[in-house]
Amino acid sequence: MSAAAPPVRGKQGPDTDIRARPVLVRPARPRRPGARLVFLAVTAVVVLAFWSVDIDWSQLAGFPANLLRYLGLMFLPPDLSTLPSAFEATVLSVQMAWLGTVLGIVISLPLSFLATAGVGPAWVRWPLRGLFSLLRAVPEVVIAVLILSVTGLTAFTGALAIAVGSVGTLGKWGYEAMEGAERGPSEAVRAAGGSTAQMLRWGMWPSVQPEVLAFWLYRFEINVRASAILGLIGAGGIGKVLADNVQFRIWDAVGTLLIVVVVVTVVIDLVSGALRRKIITGAWR
Amino acid sequence: MRPVRPRTAWKGLLVLAVVAVITVWAGFGVQVDVGALIKNFSNAADKVVLLAQPDYGFFPETLSALAQTLQMAVIATAAGAAIGLPLSFLASRVTDPSRPLVAVVRSVLNVVRSVPDLLYAAILVTIVGTGALSGVIALVLFNVGIVVKLISEAIDAVDRGPLEAALATGATWVRADRAAVLPQILPVYASQTLYVLELNVRASTVIGLVGGGGLGILIDQVRTFYRYHQLSLIILEILVVVVLLEAASSWLRKRLVS
Amino acid sequence: MTSTGDRAADITFRGVGVSYPGGVRGLQDIDLRIPAGEMVAVVGLSGAGKSTLVRTINGLVPITEGEIVVGDRHLPASRGRELRELRSEIGMVFQSFNLARRARVIDNVLMGRLHTAPTWRTLLGAWSRDDVELAMQALERVGIVDKAYVKAGNLSGGQQQRVAIARTLAQQPKIVLADEPVASLDPPTSHTVMRDLERINAELGITVVINLHFLDLARRYGRRLIGLRGGRIVFDGTGEEADEQVFADIYGRSLTGEDVLEARAQL
């Protein structure tokens, strides 16, 4: 009996060989009730959200034309005379992001060491990990609102907010990287009579260093965006200038500001991305 | 023979010096003032006390804003994922035979993605008015950028064999993509959509700070009137919602990928 | 390199036992004396407790019964600073080399100076001239000083293990423990590494305790053999005394090609 015979289909026409093959029964189409249920539930949630939300969807009809009109106001042409002040405001935002990142690193590095299994005692490790997840769960802007509502609005407190917001992710990435590092070198340092600090420096740091540096750069990229947002709620920099110009409907200046934001963000991402690749792979490109 | 010690230390020192210089420059830029900070903090002790005591009686008043936050997140995720999927196929060299089109779609979306969602919202609020709609549009813009980046990268990594087979049967590119590539990326697509939903819930809680609807509007109100015990309740709610959603989402995503 | 005559230390086990959490027993009733300057090979099947035995000597595995005396220091009584001092007098070589692969060879060897150098120097990597000199001498002794500024990960397995030996020499130890030092190496390289260990024992008078799986290596390089089975010592004598019957006792079966390095090399 030829086991390799393909399943016979009735509509294959007058195949002369057809009776020589074993008759196979067509299987029923498989049903996946679980998948169907999930699909229905997701659809229901989405439909419900669209139907129940307090939005007048008819407004959307005029939106494309409206958008084009405003884009025209912003970019045809942008008011390039505001370019220097836009650039200055962007520099402040980048400074805010940089300082926030550096402070975040300074705070998070020792904390992530302490949160690493085998380094800090359990009663330090678990509260720290809880703190990291707490800080990651709250959006940076909310942390900023909290800090800003206590200390007032300045670029410096904005940088502090960014620092605190960074501690959650940097701390978590840090201890995960160190726990993922090979254990051997650390054991060797222990066996040579090294202390915990020396084990971190010579057993763990060499193998996690590139990864951690790349994390820092990546966090800086995120913080550049965060600092622009913090400006919107009053911390200064490009966000504040943008909010002011939107409020007074000076659209050609808004256009210039948007261009500057895009160019600066893209350039920073490109440079930082190239640096990260160099750090991880050891070669430019 | 002992080797000569290579002089590489200056590289590290140079990097360190550059970082230090930029940091000092940034410090001057943002006008670091530790004295004022300490003064402010000591003046603010009573605010901190209020923050530590959430006003649970305020909870019913936050419900509609909380609901709106979730609605905005769901709507924006659905719209962003729906718009992003076809664009992802246009943004990958695997599925899009036209190199110039790939380049155009990619660079436009890179530009779109480089503007933070709250900046979109701040501008859209004046164009379409305050409320959930401007928030949703801002989120959708941002989501399309993320979805296309993540999904087109997944498409780039897909096995090309089935696509070649489909094209060899004489199918058009659109049909071949649909039949040979879409099934391969569906699990990734579903998983990344959930990830975008996580991002959106966070973002939609704050987008109201610039007038985009949801809990953010409430945050702005209680902040303006210095009602710190209500502010801390709202933050607590955000925390609970985000943590619950992330737990659910990461559980689902693990099942999707395996 | 300083003379080690006054630095040597005897190792004494008194009724030592190790049980792991969950009730698994690693070692039982170990009574053993290893005089200073001896070269000892510990043999046995994997799981017989060889690694555990060696690691109790520097406290990497804490003992749960009995006492170990190394020189004038006592385990498990030594903890913290005292334990680190004990460890600094004992070098250790591992099966998987345990080098920081992204650090340079010289930095890895200088890890042997971690205990002695001031903390700020060790954390910054600002090693003193004397420490660097010591590390260079250690590298010269194992014959790879030319690789001093190469990243450790770029060396072959045999070279990496010699760096690891240099790291223990930089500690100026009284004792060197080697846990399956050649298990990851090919036969010719295995002999090079074993000869390095033999030389530091003969020339520096350092006590060497080696775990070995391969019997021919154990008989050839160990002047004293200790056989472990099920966490207990079942043989303790010279290589000549260890005949086929003794090995059958240790291994619980007669020998196969898997247990002999040269035979395995021909497989």
What's the CA gap between C238 and C225, in Å, rounded? 6
Nearby residues of A13 by Cβ (< 8 Å), 6 or more positions away: none
Neighbours of B68 (CB within 10 A): 25
Query: What is the tens place of the pLDDT at every residue in C190-215?
Result: 888 899 899 999 998 899 999 988 88
**C-alpha span between B29 and A96 (Å, rounded):** 8
Average pLDDT over residues A82-109: 93
Q: Which two tokens stand for residue C247?
A: 């090995």
Q: How far apart are CA A264 and CA A271, in angstroms?
A: 11
**Is the CB of B3 inside 8 Å of chain C's CB atoms?**
yes
pLDDT score for B165 = 85
Task: Give B20-42 pLDDT, tens digit per residue.
Answer: 999 999 999 888 888 877 777 77
* pLDDT confidence bin for C177, thresholds 50/70/90: very high
In this predicted structure, what is the pLDDT of residue A3? 46
Report CB contact under 8 Å: B223, A149: yes
Say whether C140 and B5 touch across the interface (CB within 8 A): no
Mean per-residue pLDDT for A7-33? 65
Q: Which of C146, C189, C152, C186 is nearest to C167 (CA)?
A: C152
Q: What is the pLDDT of residue B77?
A: 95
Degrees (nearest 5) of the Cα angle C102, C104, C110?
120
Give the gap in angstroms from C-alpha A201 to the nearest C-alpha of chain C: 6
The pLDDT of residue C222 is 81
Round the average pLDDT of chain A to a whole number and report it. Answer: 85
Interface touch B1/C146, C-beta < 8 Å: yes
List of long-range contacts for B102-106, beta carbons under 8 Å, 24+ apart:
B105/B148, B106/B152
pLDDT tens figures, A212-239: 999 999 999 999 999 999 988 888 889 9
Interface test with A, best of B115, B119, B255 (most A CBs within 10 A): B119
pLDDT at C266 over 60: no
The H or E element containing residue C61 is none
Question: Which top CATH class is A83-281?
Answer: mainly alpha
Contact: B115, A262; criterion CB under 8 Å: yes
Residue A171 has pLDDT above 90, yes or no: yes
Q: Would you state the pLDDT for residue A10?
A: 47
Q: Which two tokens stand for residue B150?
A: 């993540």
Distance in angstroms (rounded) separating the CA atoms of residues A118 and A140: 30
Residue A270 has pLDDT above 60, yes or no: yes
Whole-number pLDDT of residue C254: 67
- Asked whether residue C131 carries a pLDDT value surpassing 50, the answer given is yes
Q: What is the rounded average pLDDT of the residues C6-35?
A: 83
Against chain A, the chains showing at least 3 CB pairs within 8 Å are B, C
Identify the weakest region by mean pLDDT among A240-244, B84-88, B167-171: B167-171
Looking at residue A249, its pLDDT comes to: 87
pLDDT value of position A217 = 94
pLDDT at B86: 93
- Mean pLDDT of all residues belonging to chain C: 85
Question: What is the pLDDT, as a whole number, of residue C101?
Answer: 85
Per-residue pLDDT tens digits for C83-122: 888 898 899 999 888 888 888 899 899 988 888 888 888 8
**Residue C2 pLDDT:** 41
Contact A184 C98 (CB under 8 A): yes
Say yes or no to pLDDT of A2 above 70: no
Q: How far away is chain B from the Cα of A195, in angstroms, using its nearest Cα?
A: 25
| Whether B70 and A49 lie within 8 Å, measured CB to CB | yes
Sign of CA dihedral B149, B150, B152, B157: positive
Chains that touch B (3 or more CB pairs under 8 A): A, C
Please, what are the domains in chain B? 58-257 (1.10.3720.10)
Which of A185, A197, A210 is opposite residue C98, by nearest beta carbon? A185
- Tell me which chain B residues have a C-beta less than 8 angstroms from the C-beta of A154: 30-31, 33
pLDDT digits (tens, 9 = 90+) for A191-211: 888 888 888 988 899 889 999
Is C103's Cβ below 8 Å from some Cβ in B? no
> How many CB atoms lie under 10 A from the CB of residue C244?
9
Q: Are C20 and C77 in contact (CB under 8 A)?
A: no
What is the set of domains in chain C, with CATH numbers? 1-89+208-267 (3.40.50.300), 90-172 (3.40.50.300)
Q: Is the pLDDT of residue A5 over 70?
A: no
Q: Cβ contact (<8 Å) for A193 and C99?
A: no
Residue B258 has pLDDT above 70, yes or no: no
Tallying the residues shown for chain B, one arrives at 258
How many of the other CB atoms lie within 10 Å of CB of A53?
A: 19
- Give the pLDDT band of residue B80 (cuts 50, 70, 90): very high
Whether the per-residue pLDDT at A13 is higher than 60: the answer is no
C149 neighbourhood in chain B, CB within 8 Å: 3, 5-6
Q: Is the pLDDT of residue A17 over 70?
A: no
- Would you state the pLDDT for residue A94? 94
Question: Shortest CB distance from B23 goes to which of A70, A98, A145?
Answer: A98
Percent of chain B past pLDDT 90, that is, above it, reads: 30
**Tell me: the pLDDT tens digits for C32-88?**
999 988 899 998 888 888 889 999 998 888 888 889 988 888 888 778 888 888 898
C264 band by pLDDT with thresholds 50, 70 and 90: low
Residue pairs between chains A and C whose CB atoms are closer than 8 Å: 84
